Chain A
Amino acid sequence: MTPAQFEKHIEPRWQKLEKLLTDVEYGKPREDVEELPATFRQVCHDLSVAQHRMSPQRLTQQLNALAIRGYRVLERHSSGGWEGFVRLFIVEFPQAVRKEWRLFWWFTALFYLPAVLIALITPSHPEWAMALLGPDGMAQVESMYGESSKPSDYVRESFGSGFAAFCFYIWNNVDIDFKTFAGGIVGGVGSLFALLFNALFLGAVFGYVHYSGNPMTLYTWVIAHGAPELTGLVISAMAGMRVGWSVLRPGRLERRAALVLAGRKALPLLVGAAVLTSIAAVLEAFWSPLNLPPVMKFTAGGLCWVVLAVFLIFSGRGQADAA
């Protein structure tokens, strides 16, 4: 068969595929759409033959473009919609955290130990915390948790309403989560830095309030939303480290492949962290400013921590492993 004959021979096939694809792409498939996969395979076969026979570039390029178009249509993924998203959070996220339990405890320790350390030394050596907070930070801490101030008053003054505060927390805190994750690709350095910086800052706030403020207002304020917010930060740093670690130690895989695999493993962690932080934003905006007796605040806050722990330990168990 000469090249010209070959071209003429395959022409009806790719023209048919083109028509079928156009129908599907415009969302108006006709009855003959069932022939699409078979026609697609046939055109793929023609493309292979054309490539092997080194047919004119015009022909191979055209078939190549058609093969890509067809593949896009046939391999179209459905993201699973909201159901998929809920499953990602309820099943795959806790599974991923449990699978990476070593990393989780490492990062939990890396976060809380420096925080507790700096909080403990601040009453006797306040200069560390002061340096970390800076004059603006100290002024803000005073106005929120000072002897005669309440955080809810401060928040009402700066945001006006609970919803505005919620928007601010999403914009600020979830943004920090995402950036903490992204920084991880540099061998985990960015994630570690963000984690440690936030730990030191948090520790400094706690220490400084013990030093010069009213610790009770601080604890009643943060106990509830702290659970999802801090855990979200730790987990987003974990997700970043998951990716960074694959750069440092790809194991038996090629670095490129290890990176892709780590990205897939990190995604449920990242999404889970973002959802946790969003929940924290809701709590911080609507629950934390309520002026309730401390007993209620601590009970509810403790409950938050317990619910979170139960969720991470038990949710999604027995479900098929999302791999």
Chain B
Amino acid sequence: MAAARADTLQPVELADGVEIQLRVAGPAVRSMAYTIDLLVRLGIYLVVWIAAIFLVLPGLGMELTAGLMLLFMFFMEWFYNVIFEAGARGATPGQRSMKLRVMSMTGGPVTLAQAVMRNFLRVVDFMPALYLTGIICMLFTKRFQRLGDLVANTVVTYADPPPAPVAVTEIRAERRAPAQVLTREEQAALLQFIERAPLWADERRIELAAVAEPLTQAPGVEGLRRLCGMALWLQEPEEKRGTPPPLKGAPLFRS
């Protein structure tokens, strides 16, 4: 499927033998999630600092408060991401707001060990500044993995499936069987065409239908009408015929 190469879907085989598609997230959206996390962290620091100054400082004194703050900073710097990513949702607040999720490359949730690995290596991914190493690494791996992801065997994916296109117009075309036998890929192309055609302008539909002229044997609007008819036939062959659509045969598209 040529379509699979143009998008960011990555096939993964689950332990159950079924293949799923992961929609991996790129550097841009991850940077935004990181920025939100940064702001969240700053907010937490601010709140805790103020709380420490007004609540802890009078009781425990300067040195102890400073010590506690150092301890708190240590945990925030190293474990903020780890705790959220190893949690039930598998995402930090920033990632959640961007509808992202960290997943193991096996398709399962991230383990604590993986979360530790991928986040402790942030130090190196950050080098020399602003995650330059990580971003370059992401651009050179097909799953957008930074060094930490590579070692931990994790990917950052979109949590939800993309919004499905909704057909706005009803297609009125007469159902007709294709003149040739179509391969599985060709059938899929026709089915996807009919699924998406309502979302396009007329010119675009005709333009695309013209590609299939060897099959439809008609130019322009007539070609489009015939193509839609064949797609409808694939979706729902007439009841009486009962024959399944043929599976293999001559290619439809000019190469």
Report A's interface with B, CB cutoff 8 A: 2-4, 40-41, 44-45, 47-48, 51, 54-58, 61-62, 64-65, 67-68, 71-72, 75-77, 79, 159-161, 163-168, 170-171, 174-175, 178-179, 181-183, 185-186, 190, 243, 256, 259-260, 262-264, 267, 270
* CB contact between A76 and one of B22, B74, B78, B109 (< 8 Å): that residue: B109
Q: Is the CB of A164 within 8 A of B66?
A: yes
Flag whether B151 is at the interface (Cβ < 8 A). Answer: yes
Q: Is the CB of A165 within 8 A of B67?
A: yes
- CB contacts (< 8 Å) of A164 on chain B: these are 63-64, 66-67
- CB contacts (< 8 Å) of A4 on chain B: these are 235-236
Q: Is the CB of B64 within 8 A of A160?
A: yes
B67 → A minimal CB distance (Å): 3
Besides A3-B236, A79-B112, A256-B150, 9 new A-B residue pairs in contact (Cβ under 8 A), listed by A number = A56-B192, A57-B164, A71-B14, A71-B16, A164-B67, A181-B120, A186-B124, A267-B116, A267-B117
Q: Is the CB of A54 within 8 A of B151?
A: no
Flag whether B147 is at the interface (Cβ < 8 A). Answer: yes
Chain A interface mostly: helix
> How many of B's residues come within 8 Å of A, CB to CB?
60
- CB contacts (< 8 Å) of A65 on chain B: these are 160-161
B65 → A minimal CB distance (Å): 9
Select the stretch in B39-47, B50-58, B183-191, B201-209 that faces chain A.
Answer: B183-191
CB within 8 Å for A48 and B19 given contacts A160-B62, A166-B67, A167-B67 = yes
- CB contacts (< 8 Å) of B173 on chain A: these are none
Q: Is the CB of B235 within 8 A of A170?
A: no
Q: Is the CB of B71 within 8 A of A75?
A: no
- CB contacts (< 8 Å) of B236 on chain A: these are 2-4
Report B's interface with A, CB cutoff 8 A: 14-22, 61-64, 66-68, 70-71, 73-74, 77-78, 86, 90, 103, 106-109, 111-113, 116-117, 120-124, 147, 150-153, 160-162, 164-165, 184-185, 187-188, 191-192, 195, 234-237
Which of the listed residues A44, A72, A165, A264 has the most CB atoms from chain B within 10 Å of its own CB?
A72
A59–B184 Cα distance when bound, in Å, is 17
CB within 8 Å for A171 and B188 given contacts A76-B109, A182-B120 = no
Query: What residue in chain A is nearest B3 (Cβ atoms)?
Result: A57
- CB contacts (< 8 Å) of B187 on chain A: these are 54
* CB contact between B151 and one of A77, A161, A263 (< 8 Å): that residue: A263
- CB contacts (< 8 Å) of B165 on chain A: these are 58
Q: Is the CB of B124 within 8 A of A54?
A: no
Q: Is the CB of A62 within 8 A of B153?
A: no
Query: What residue in chain A is nearest B22 (Cβ atoms)?
Result: A68
- CB contacts (< 8 Å) of A179 on chain B: these are 123
- CB contacts (< 8 Å) of A55 on chain B: these are 191
- CB contacts (< 8 Å) of A44 on chain B: these are 14, 16-18
A231–B105 Cα distance when bound, in Å, is 34
- CB contacts (< 8 Å) of A57 on chain B: these are 164, 192, 195
Q: Is the CB of A77 within 8 A of B71?
A: no
CB within 8 Å for A71 and B108 given contacts A44-B18, A48-B19 = yes
- CB contacts (< 8 Å) of A186 on chain B: these are 124
- CB contacts (< 8 Å) of A71 on chain B: these are 14, 16, 20, 107-108
A1–B159 Cα distance when bound, in Å, is 32
* CB contact between B117 and one of A163, A190, A263 (< 8 Å): that residue: A263
- CB contacts (< 8 Å) of A174 on chain B: these are 74
Query: What residue in chain A is nearest B11 (Cβ atoms)?
Result: A51
Query: What residue in chain A is nearest B114 (Cβ atoms)?
Result: A263
- CB contacts (< 8 Å) of B121 on chain A: these are 182, 185
CB within 8 Å for A61 and B162 given contacts A79-B112, A160-B62, A186-B124 = yes
Q: Could you jot down 13 A-B contacts, CB within 8 Å?
A: A40-B16, A47-B20, A64-B161, A65-B160, A75-B15, A79-B86, A159-B67, A160-B63, A175-B77, A186-B124, A260-B151, A263-B152, A267-B116
Q: Is the CB of A51 within 8 A of B19?
A: yes
A306–B142 Cα distance when bound, in Å, is 50
- CB contacts (< 8 Å) of B86 on chain A: these are 79
- CB contacts (< 8 Å) of B234 on chain A: these are 3
* CB contact between B18 and one of A48, A161, A175 (< 8 Å): that residue: A48
* CB contact between A67 and one of B20, B122, B123 (< 8 Å): that residue: B20
Q: Is the CB of A67 within 8 A of B109?
A: no
- CB contacts (< 8 Å) of A183 on chain B: these are 123-124
A171–B72 Cα distance when bound, in Å, is 9
- CB contacts (< 8 Å) of B17 on chain A: these are 44
- CB contacts (< 8 Å) of A76 on chain B: these are 108-109
Query: What residue in chain B is nearest A182 (Cβ atoms)?
Result: B123
Q: Is the CB of A267 within 8 A of B64?
A: no
A281–B210 Cα distance when bound, in Å, is 75
Which of the listed residues A164, A174, A181, A190 has the most CB atoms from chain B within 10 Å of its own CB?
A164
Q: Is the CB of B188 within 8 A of A54?
A: yes
Q: Is the CB of B18 within 8 A of A262?
A: no
A255 → B minimal CB distance (Å): 9
B49 → A minimal CB distance (Å): 15
A58–B123 Cα distance when bound, in Å, is 40
A75–B161 Cα distance when bound, in Å, is 20
